[in-house]
Amino acid sequence: MPRLKPIEWTGTDVVIVDQTVLPGALRYETVETPEQMFDAIRRLKVRGAPLIGVSAAFGVYLGMKQLGVSAGGAEAVFRARQTADYLATSRPTAVNLFWALDRVKRRVAGMESVSGQQVTQAVLDEACAILKEDRAMCRAIGEHGFEELRRFDVLHTHCNAGGLATSDMGTALAPVYVGLERGKTFHVIVDETRPLLQGSRITAFELMQAGVPITLICDNMAASVMKRRKVDAVIVGADRIAANGDAANKIGTYGLALIARAHGVPFYVAAPSSTIDPSLCDGSLIPIEERSEDEVTCGMGRRTAPEGVVVHNPAFDVTPAELIAGIITERGFFRAPYDFSRV
């Protein structure tokens, strides 16, 4: 079955898969305005660090489409910057969002003296380039990751760092897909990933679609499963990696890394270089998104906690570099002590 494209530029429209309704429904949506793109990112219709970046870049283009045909270059450059700054406030943790928006802003810098239409075209070209590069990045991570992981049979993953978190085969799941192409079938243990269930709703869905054998577990089963069953390695994605290798990813990742360390299971992170934030010396500086308490109290479609309960709902946590066996990027495999100067 062909892999779903979570975002597509059709030549006239930006079309996304609404990931909030997976796996029950496969709903495509045409996004027409930056406000709709902001909402899609904020509400996790499009999600996963690389995909957020790609989506935001197209969101800037949607803002440019609202300009009148007679708009001049200066007005268009202003609009591009303004829309990028607006979209940058949609989610705080995945640095790929800011990376992609900065690229768009750099692309139009100095274009004040050309026509507004030329600026709009430059924004669209940059968004399409980011999308295309994202596809190549996934493939390269898949190749490097497969080289490292091919000796293993059973992998454990958290959240969704697969095709639906990028524009192609994902990051953490890319080695699994490359393995399939080469005749190697991994068995993947997928944990649910409370509170929004990206593991059970999205990772389980896409791996089963691809014909990968999986076992779905609740998050709180990970320690027991690692103790009782064969788990060769854990592989997850990341939303932001600090200069020292500390990596932010979906809440629960840090706990899983501790469990892996306790059981002698290597723990890998797969992420593109656009996820590395060299401006932060360590993970304590990574901003962690706090999301609505409803996700915890009503996450199963009905109320599961008393009214008025105090809730803490951080969407991400930070795994310290010392728990990470290696970081797989499109430029190759990195081990501690990390030197990201070649990314």
Q: Report the interface residues with ligand MRU, using CB under 6 A.
A: 44, 47-50, 94, 159, 161, 165-166, 170-171, 198, 236-239, 249-250, 315
Rounded to a whole number of angstroms, the minimum distance from the CB of residue 237 to ligand MRU is 3
DSSP 272-285: -GGGEETT-SSGGG
Rounded to a whole number of angstroms, the minimum distance from the CB of residue 238 to ligand MRU is 6
Q: Catalytic residue among 168, 219, 239, 246, which?
A: 239
CB-wise, 21 or 109, nearer to ligand MRU?
A: 21
Q: Which two tokens stand for residue 334?
A: 């990195």
Give the Cβ contact number of residue 188 at 10 Å: 22
Contact 48, 206 (CB under 8 A): no
Which residue(s) pair with 250 in the sheet? 316
The C-alpha atoms of residue 225 and residue 200 are separated, in whole angstroms, by: 17
- In this structure, which amino acid lies at residue 2? P
Rounded to a whole number of angstroms, the minimum distance from the CB of residue 49 to ligand MRU is 4
| β-bridge pairing 267-270 and 233-236 | parallel
Rounded to a whole number of angstroms, the minimum distance from the CB of residue 172 to ligand MRU is 7
For 105, 170, 261, 295, the CA distances from 274, given in Å and listed in that order, are 16, 14, 27, 28
Contacts of 256 (CB under 8 A, 6+ apart): 156, 158, 191, 222, 234, 236, 267
Rounded to a whole number of angstroms, the minimum distance from the CB of residue 215 to ligand MRU is 19
Contact 205, 241 (CB under 8 A): no
Mark whether 239 is an active-site residue: yes
CB-wise, 53 or 63, nearer to ligand MRU?
A: 53
Rounded to a whole number of angstroms, the minimum distance from the CB of residue 11 to ligand MRU is 26
CB-wise, 149 or 159, nearer to ligand MRU?
A: 159
CB-wise, 92 or 179, nearer to ligand MRU?
A: 92
CB-wise, 25 or 69, nearer to ligand MRU?
A: 25
CB-wise, 19 or 120, nearer to ligand MRU?
A: 19
CB-wise, 225 or 315, nearer to ligand MRU?
A: 315
The C-alpha atoms of residue 66 and residue 88 are separated, in whole angstroms, by: 19
Q: Which two tokens stand for residue 136?
A: 């190549």
Rounded to a whole number of angstroms, the minimum distance from the CB of residue 198 to ligand MRU is 5
- In this structure, which amino acid lies at residue 83? T
What is the C-alpha R_g of the chain? 20
Tokens 């493939």 correspond to 139
Question: Cα angle vertex 342, ends 52, 47, to 5°?
Answer: 10
For 169, 221, 336, the CA distances from 131, given in Å and listed in that order, are 13, 36, 30
Residues labelled as active-site residues: 239
